[in-house]
Homo-oligomer: A and B are copies of this chain.
Amino acid sequence: MSAKKVKVFAVLGIPVIDGPADIAELLISALSRQKTPLRDGDALVISHTLVSKAEGRVVDQKDIQLSEKAKDLAGRNGFDPFQVELALRESREVLRTERVLITETLYGLVCNFSGVDHSNAPAGGYVLLPLNPDASAQRIRESLLHRTGLHKLAVIISDTQGRPWRKGSVNLAIGCAGISAFKFNKGKTDLYGRVIERSTVCQVDEIAAAAEHVMGEAGEGTPVIVIRGYGYEDGSEHGRDIPRPKTEDIFR
C-alpha cells in the first residue's frame, strides 16, 4: 500500500479582468508560463469572482434603482442598501433579515446576501454569483478538454460563505463539472469489516475548502487552484444538487 498524496498549488499570473474573458485560455497560458501544464485527473477550483466577471455579472452602483424594501431592510440593519437591492433581485425567497440577509438564490443556494459582494469588484461595482455555476463549470471544462486533449478534469466554482452553527466562513462549491458533488461510502467496510450503512460526503465542498488558503480571500490574485492526486469520480449530481430542498431542510 502506498500513501495517497494530494498537492494543492496556485496558478500564478492570471490577470485581473473587468469584463468578458476566456478563462480556459487565461488558465492554459498561465499554467504554461509556470511550467505546470494540466494533467489528467487534476481538479481546478476557480473563485466565482473570476467567473462572474468573465460572464459580465458585475453591476455598477450608479445603475441600481433602490426599492423601498431594500432601503427599509438596509436601514434597520445598517447594511449597504445597494447590496441589499441586488441580493433581493437575485433571490427567490428571503429567509432571515436580522443581522444577516439569508436568501435562497434564484439558482437555489442558501447564503448571505445572495452571494452579492463588493470585495474584489471594480470601484463602485458589485459582483453577483454566476447565473448557473454548474453550466459555467461545464463550459470551462469543455474548453480545457478541447484545448489540452486531456480526458479527465474536474472544474469546481467556489465561494466563501458563512455557516449557521459555526463561526467563520469556509470556501465551498457552488458549481462543478467532471466530478460528482458527492462520494458515497455506503457498502464499504469499516475497520472491523462491517458494512457501512450510509455515509455521503460532499467532496466538492471539501476540495473547495482545501483550495481556499492557497487561493486567499484578499488581493492575492490567485483565483484558480490546481488540486492534483485527489482521485475522484464523475457522477450525475453537481452544484445544483447540494443545497437541501426546502422540504428536506428542517432548519429553515
> Residues of A with Cβ closer than 8 Å to B?
1, 3-10, 12, 16, 34, 96, 98-100, 110, 119-123, 160, 163-172, 181-183, 185, 188-194, 196, 199-203, 205-207, 209-210, 212-214, 217-219, 221, 230-231, 241-244, 249-251
Contact = CB atoms under 8 A, between A and B. Distances in A.
Contact of A249 (B1, B5, B164): B164
Given A166-B242, A193-B219, 20 more contacts: A3-B12, A5-B7, A5-B8, A6-B9, A8-B210, A99-B250, A119-B199, A123-B192, A163-B164, A168-B200, A169-B201, A170-B202, A199-B218, A201-B212, A206-B209, A206-B212, A206-B213, A210-B210, A213-B230, A251-B251
A205 B213 CA distance: 11
Given A200-B169, A242-B166, A1 B8 contact: no
A173 to B, nearest CB: 9
Copies in the complex: 2
Dominant SS among interface residues on chain A: loop
Contact of A190 (B98, B218, B250): B218
A163 B201 CA distance: 11
Contacts of A9: 3-6
A4 B10 CA distance: 7
A222 to B, nearest CB: 8
A167 B5 contact: no
Contacts of A202: 166-170
A231 B214 CA distance: 9
5 contacts: A5-B9, A119-B194, A166-B172, A166-B242, A190-B219
Contacts of A1: 12
B242 A168 contact: yes
Contact of A205 (B203, B209, B250): B209
Nearest to A248: B167
A9 B2 CA distance: 10
Contacts of A10: 3-4
A171 B120 CA distance: 29
Nearest to A1: B12
B244 A200 contact: no
Given A165-B243, A166-B242, A250-B96, A185 B217 contact: yes
A192 B49 CA distance: 13
